[in-house]
Amino acid sequence: MRVSDQLAARLKDLGAEVQHGVSLAARTSLEIGGTTDELILHRYDRIAEVMSVLASERIPWRYLGGGTNVLIGDGELPWVALHLATAKPGMRAEGNFAYVDAAADLGGTVTFCAKHDLGGMEGLIGVPGSVGGALRMNAGAYGTQIGPHVREVELYRAATGKVETLRGSEIRFDYRHTSFAPNDVMLRVKLELPSQPYKEILAGIRMCNEKRRASQPLNQKSAGCIFKNPPGGSAGRMIDELGLKGFRVGDAMVSDRHANFFVNAGRATCADMLGLMGAVRERVHAAYGVELENEVIVWQN
Ligand code: EPU
**What's the one-letter identity of residue 60?**
P
pLDDT in tens, 169-223: 999 999 999 999 999 999 999 999 999 999 999 999 999 999 999 999 999 999 9
Contact 175, 198 (CB under 8 A): no
Test site for ligand 1: of 215, 227, 238, most ligand atoms within 8 A of the Cβ: 215
Confidence category of residue 8, pLDDT binned at 50, 70, 90: very high
* pLDDT confidence of residue 186: 97
The dihedral region occupied by 287, where left means phi > 0, alpha psi between -120 and 50, and beta the remainder, is alpha
Q: What are the two backbone dihedrals, phi and then psi, of residue 172, each rounded to the nearest 5 degrees? A: -95, 125
Q: Whose CA is nearest to atom 14 of ligand 1?
A: 237
d(C-alpha 203, C-alpha 206), whole Å: 5
Contact 50, 42 (CB under 8 A): no
Burial of 6 (0-12, 13-18, 19+ CB in 10 A): exposed
* Mean pLDDT calculated for residue range 59-75: 97
Average predicted confidence (pLDDT) for the chain:
97
* pLDDT confidence of residue 300: 87
Asked if residue 234 has pLDDT above 90, the reply is: yes
Asked if residue 236 has pLDDT above 90, the reply is: yes
* Distance between Cα 179 and ligand 1 center (Å): 24
What DSSP state is assigned to residue 10? H
Its sign, for the CA torsion 145, 147, 149, 150, is positive
Q: Is 213 in the pocket of ligand 1 (CB under 6 A)?
A: no
Q: Say what the alpha-carbon torsion angle 262, 263, 267, 268 is, to the nearest 10 degrees.
A: 10
* Distance between Cα 255 and ligand 1 center (Å): 12
pLDDT in tens, 94-131: 999 999 999 999 999 999 999 999 999 999 999 999 99
Test site for ligand 1: of 127, 146, 213, 225, most ligand atoms within 8 A of the Cβ: 225
| DSSP labels, 109-169 | HHHHHHHTTB-S-GGGTT--SBHHHHHHHT-EETTEESGGGEEEEEEEETTTTEEEEEEGG
Q: Which atom of ligand 1 is nearest to the CA of 225?
A: 42
Measured CA distances, 258 to 213, 215, 274 (Å) = 11, 6, 18
* pLDDT confidence of residue 279: 98
Contact 217, 253 (CB under 8 A): no
